[in-house]
Amino acid sequence: MQIKSTPGESPVPAGDRRAAERTTSVYRPVLIETAEFGGFCLVRNLSPGGMMGVVYTQFGAEQPVTVQFHPDHVVTGVIVWSKEGRIGIRFNTRIDVDAVLQNLASKSVGTRVNRAPRLPIEYPAEVEIGGRLRKIRLLDISQRGMKAVVNCPMQPGDELVVRLEGLQPHRAEVRWVEDGVAGLNFILPIGFEDLARWVIERQSAQPHSW
């Protein structure tokens, strides 16, 4: 992750000086949710009062939004502008930027591993395992892995190929299996833009699960 202080583009309108006292450039994915959308956002600029991020889609202004920096830190705010696949968000409560950056960069948050953000989204998929295609149902996904309902034998350490409509096949390793649900880690992470656009395309066809 790259972090540097910069006077770059403000995440909020220039008139809101209090929210733009210090802007820090950050290249880190987070989850955002509005009333009709849940997906990935790449944070580019972050200040105590707001942020600017890349979302690859368009939003109407003045929409309430939540930003999940990690599961234990969710911030509410308002989308104040949306242009060319980017959005500006004004937080309802000012944040401690240094603390957020420290948590984003750490390997763990509290007692939990600080994993890539996982988006809950249900979608049919297939895995190729043992030379056969098997149907599964996606429950959540990140750049590095996914959780799915499975109805075929598999165990930790098995390697397979995940096939999701609209994405290139991805090799993965089974990390755990419990009560018909499996956790899979991709051998190579999915590109952020590919995954973000895939989520947008899936949600344009059906209501999102969050």
Query: Tens of pLDDT along the chain (210 residues)?
Result: 333 333 345 565 544 545 446 788 988 999 999 998 999 999 999 999 999 999 999 999 899 999 999 888 999 999 999 999 999 999 999 999 999 988 877 765 555 666 788 999 999 999 999 889 999 999 999 999 999 999 888 999 999 999 999 999 999 999 999 999 999 999 999 999 999 999 999 877 654 443
25 exposed, middle or buried (CB, 10 Å; 0-12, 13-18, 19+)? middle
User: Domains of the chain (ranges plus CATH)?
Assistant: 3-113 (2.40.10.220), 119-205 (2.40.10.220)
Instruction: State the Cα–Cα distance between residues 74 and 64, nearest whole angstrom.
Output: 13
Cα separation, 131 vs 85, in Å, equals 40
How far apart CA 33 and CA 207 sit, in angstroms, is: 13
The predicted structure's pLDDT at residue 19: 43
- 189, two tokens: 């992470």
* Structural contact between residues 32 and 66, judged by C-beta atoms closer than 8 angstroms: yes
